[in-house]
A and B are shown apart, each in its own frame.
Chain A
Amino acid sequence: MLYDQYVRRVHTVLTAAGAPNPDDVVADIRDHVDRELEGLAEPVSDTAMEGVLTRLGQPQQWIGDDQLSWWRKTLLRVRTGPEDWRLAYATFGTILLALLFGGLLGETVLVVLWAGSFILARAAIATAGESNDLTEGQKWLVYPSLVPVYALLLAAVFLGPAAGVGDYADSLSYQALREYPAGDLPRAGYYPLLESVGITPGAIDVRSGILAIYAAALTAGISWTILGLVLLLKRPRRLTAAVFRPFLDHMSRAWGVTLLVIGLVLLALCVMATVAAHAWGHHYF
């Protein structure tokens, strides 16, 4: 079984690589194995056979990359591996299918194929080696599947809370405008908050956008400060690196410090804006 698989593999690799006379080479290999195992009692043990086949080496090692045209190299890798290359090609093929047929067959198909491509990309990275080191060619095949997903995740984490709160603040101030177009805002609910940042009935339509930005900035400041503090710890950094492999493989404590500083600066700016709005609100508007 081992021997037959090996011989089939030799023929497949040599044929895919366009090597001259693959049948002759296979005949020579058979001869070689027969001579090496001459004198041993039959049936030959797996250990003895493995030893001979190990010394012969894997057929992919016999064909130098420089002897192959680019399409033969691709064909060889798709048919025989190594696995990281096969997965890289499968990743790229799946994403091409997603782009070509997703538009025709609907969003569900696009999402499913892209998800499949993403999983294949992560498998390719995992099999690339201990250092998860993709070659330049593999990066071109694998990264298009990863980058959009990671970008969406990062946007959700870093911008999602701020965008959500900003949008909510914007809708609140428009609601106030509709309910109290000309009169004073009541001293209840969220209306004092609007006044504390300088939003008065006459100014809501002009400044509601500023309120949304303020709320978004405040939320971003709080969330980035928290994220920065969390990333100072080793375990969350490892988890983050694992999620965003291979781009954040070398994430260090400095990332947490940077994020923390940016978050604190944003918070400080929001506090200063609040103080200014209290002090100069009506005159300012």
Chain B
Amino acid sequence: MNDRLLDNWTTQLRKGLLDLCVLSALAETRMYGYDIVRRLRSIEGLVISEGTIYPILGRFSRDGLVQTVLEESKAGPARKYYQLTATGREVLERMNAAWVQIVKGVGSLQSETDTENNEP
């Protein structure tokens, strides 16, 4: 039962964070889909199925958070790059603000718990 609870919790946590991480990966520069996957797979515990990234990019594209740019490649067929739109940047900013708030709140809760546990 506890394993199932933990599995569900970590799955939900990853789902929420992946959206933020995909947008964050695109914050500095436009990227090729595969490069986004390579960037995120280096974050331990975040990406269980690498294919998850692509439907997220499809959803962001539908919702106007990212746009795709086709660029001719000398090495082979044209490559599709993803870049943030203005809407995407705004959403990223708000997500970051929410994330900072949550991390701060959870951090303070954990500090209180540690203090109570260390009291004689």
B49-60, CB under 8 A of A: which get 1 and which 0?
111101101110
The residues of A that contact B68 with a CB separation of less than 8 Å are 24
The residues of B that contact A272 with a CB separation of less than 8 Å are none
User: Is there an interface contact between B54 and A29, defined as CB atoms closer than 8 Å?
Assistant: yes
User: Is there an interface contact between B50 and A32, defined as CB atoms closer than 8 Å?
Assistant: yes
User: Is there an interface contact between A61 and B54, defined as CB atoms closer than 8 Å?
Assistant: no
With A20-B62, A21-B61, A32-B34 in contact, do A63 and B50 touch (Cβ < 8 Å)?
no
User: Is there an interface contact between A57 and B50, defined as CB atoms closer than 8 Å?
Assistant: yes
Where chain B touches its partner, the secondary structure class is helix
Q: List 25 A-B contacts (CB under 8 A).
A: A10-B51, A14-B55, A19-B55, A19-B58, A20-B59, A20-B61, A24-B68, A25-B55, A27-B80, A28-B54, A28-B57, A29-B51, A29-B54, A31-B79, A31-B80, A32-B37, A32-B50, A32-B51, A35-B34, A55-B49, A56-B50, A57-B48, A59-B51, A62-B51, A62-B55
Q: How many angstroms between the C-alpha atoms of A63 and B15 in the bound complex? A: 10
By a beta-carbon cutoff of 8 Å, the part of chain A in contact with chain B is 10, 14, 19-22, 24-25, 27-29, 31-32, 35, 55-59, 61-64
User: Is there an interface contact between A28 and B33, defined as CB atoms closer than 8 Å?
Assistant: yes
The 10 closest A-B pairs by CB, nearest first: A57-B49, A20-B62, A56-B51, A28-B54, A21-B58, A28-B33, A35-B34, A25-B54, A62-B52, A61-B49
The residues of B that contact A63 with a CB separation of less than 8 Å are 55
The residues of B that contact A55 with a CB separation of less than 8 Å are 49-50
By a beta-carbon cutoff of 8 Å, the part of chain B in contact with chain A is 15, 33-34, 37, 48-52, 54-55, 57-59, 61-62, 68, 79-80
A250 to chain B, nearest CB (A): 16
Q: How many angstroms between the C-alpha atoms of A66 and B105 in the bound complex? A: 26
The residues of B that contact A28 with a CB separation of less than 8 Å are 33, 54, 57, 80
Q: A10-B51, A25-B57 are in contact. List 20 more A-B contacts (CB 8 A).
A: A19-B59, A20-B62, A21-B61, A21-B62, A24-B58, A25-B55, A28-B33, A28-B80, A29-B51, A32-B34, A32-B50, A56-B49, A57-B49, A57-B51, A58-B49, A59-B51, A61-B49, A61-B52, A62-B52, A64-B15
Chain A residue nearest in CB terms to B57: A28
User: Is there an interface contact between A32 and B52, defined as CB atoms closer than 8 Å?
Assistant: no
The residues of B that contact A62 with a CB separation of less than 8 Å are 49, 51-52, 54-55
Q: How many angstroms between the C-alpha atoms of A18 and B15 in the bound complex? A: 18
Q: How many angstroms between the C-alpha atoms of A69 and B48 in the bound complex? A: 24
